[in-house]
């Protein structure tokens, strides 16, 4: 019998949904357990930092790393795991493109701290106490990880071999990825395990010429299930997003949220979508453009919902941490 796959699962700036998604493979989790020894999975089993540092370089076959990088601890662990793993996989939208946590890049550490520790209506913090990296406790000085000024995707911190997209990845996508690793049937480095076309391409809704006369939010209308959602005023990320998710949102009459990341030829998902939507707004002058744009709630959060860390703008704004 071939030696079992040494599998590590780690989470950084994440919600835990990716870990749950692995369990969501239902009975296949047993096949995973059969094929692999899980050497690290903090959400499910107890591990200490030392357990990782004791591992030899290359002793982990595959590391499924979910979550974005926004603290010194997460960066350190990402580097430690990278050094010990044959394959580093950015698992889920946060690890791949920064995900929802990277919307924090619309502001910075100071802005976030101001909101959380000062400005919200329910906050009472008269001494203006902020998180600190050092605390002189009675048992000696304690250290906490430092929060960075911006959020990074995993590949902005360490070398990544494959990407498993999704928020969270669907069981089918996870299984495809695991099967590829177990069978050794590996795609070229850098491959995103998903479709090769855009979601819009494989969407079966009826498309006509696009014109947006008013932006709608999903709760405001019951969309026609046969027609293109974008044409009904719902901002659907389908045109710029990779397929392979099984159209779970659009099949349920909800616009695509973009969690499978940019499609094959798209480098900046949000910029592309913003451009496309601006192109089909039915306006005749600047004034009507502004009026129509005002009916769109949170454009930046919509187009960059899962990929702000990989926005070109931030790539050229390097500096700081």
**Strand ranges in the chain using DSSP code E only, listed in sequence order:** 5-11, 36-40, 60-66, 69-71, 85-91, 134-137, 140-143, 147-152, 162-164
98: left (phi over 0), alpha (psi -120 to 50) or beta: left
Smaller CB separation from another protein, 146 or 197: 197
Among 4, 118, 189, 211, binds another protein (CB under 8 A): 211
Task: Write down the residue that tokens 């599998």 correspond to.
Answer: 7
Q: What are phi and psi of 39, to 5 degrees?
A: -95, -15
Q: Taking CB under 8 A as the rule, does residue 234 contact another protein?
A: no
Smaller CB separation from another protein, 88 or 96: 96
- Only segment of 97-105, 172-180, 202-210, 216-224 that touches another protein (CB under 8 A): 202-210
Q: Taking CB under 8 A as the rule, does residue 247 contact another protein?
A: no
Beta carbons within 8 Å of 299's beta carbon, 6+ residues apart: 274, 293
Smaller CB separation from another protein, 48 or 284: 284
- How near is the Cβ of 159 to another protein at its closest, in Å? 19
Beta carbons within 8 Å of 227's beta carbon, 6+ residues apart: 205, 206
Among 82, 216, 272, 305, binds another protein (CB under 8 A): 272
Q: Are 112 and 123 in contact (CB under 8 A)?
A: no
Task: Write down the residue that tokens 């995993």 correspond to.
Answer: 154
- Only segment of 11-19, 70-78, 235-243, 246-254 that touches another protein (CB under 8 A): 235-243
SS3 234: strand
- How near is the Cβ of 209 to another protein at its closest, in Å? 5
Among 207, 214, 221, 301, binds another protein (CB under 8 A): 207
Among 86, 197, 217, 247, binds another protein (CB under 8 A): 197
Is the preceding omega at residue 168 within 30 degrees of 0, hence cis? yes
Q: Taking CB under 8 A as the rule, does residue 227 contact another protein?
A: no
| Contacts to another protein by CB under 8 A | 196-198, 200-201, 203, 207-211, 228, 230, 238-240, 263-267, 272-273, 275-276, 279-280, 312, 316
């Amino acid at each position: 019998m071939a030696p079992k796959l040494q599998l590590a699962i780690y989470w950084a700036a994440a919600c835990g949904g990716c870990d749950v998604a692995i369990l969501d493979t239902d009975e296949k989790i047993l096949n995973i357990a059969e094929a692999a020894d899980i050497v690290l999975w903090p959400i499910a089993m107890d591990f200490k930092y030392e357990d990782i540092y004791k591992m030899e370089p290359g002793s982990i076959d595959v590391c499924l790393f979910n979550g974005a990088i926004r603290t010194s601890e997460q960066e350190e662990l990402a580097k430690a795991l990278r050094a010990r793993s044959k394959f580093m996989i950015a698992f889920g939208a946060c690890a791949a493109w920064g995900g929802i946590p990277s919307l924090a890049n619309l502001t910075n550490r100071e802005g976030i701290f101001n909101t959380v520790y000062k400005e919200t209506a329910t906050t009472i913090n008269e001494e203006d106490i902020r998180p600190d990296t050092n605390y002189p406790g009675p048992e000696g000085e304690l250290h906490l990880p430092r929060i960075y000024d911006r959020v990074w995707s995993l590949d902005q911190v360490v070398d990544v071999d494959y990407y498993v997209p999704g928020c969270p990845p669907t069981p089918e996508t996870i299984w495809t990825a695991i099967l590829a690793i177990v069978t050794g049937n590996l795609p070229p480095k850098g491959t995103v395990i998903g479709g090769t076309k855009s979601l819009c391409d494989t969407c079966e809704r009826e498309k006509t010429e696009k014109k947006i006369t008013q932006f709608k939010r999903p709760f405001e209308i019951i969309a026609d299930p046969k027609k293109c959602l974008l044409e009904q005023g719902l901002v659907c990320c389908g045109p710029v997003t990779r397929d392979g998710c099984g159209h779970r949102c659009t099949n349920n009459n909800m616009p695509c949220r973009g969690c499978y990341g940019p499609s094959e030829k798209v480098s900046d998902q949000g910029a592309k979508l913003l451009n496309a939507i601006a192109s089909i707004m039915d306006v005749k002058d600047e004034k009507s453009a502004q009026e129509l744009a005002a009916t769109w709630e949170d454009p930046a959060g919509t187009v960059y919902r899962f990929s702000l860390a990989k926005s070109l703008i931030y790539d050229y704004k390097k500096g700081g941490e």
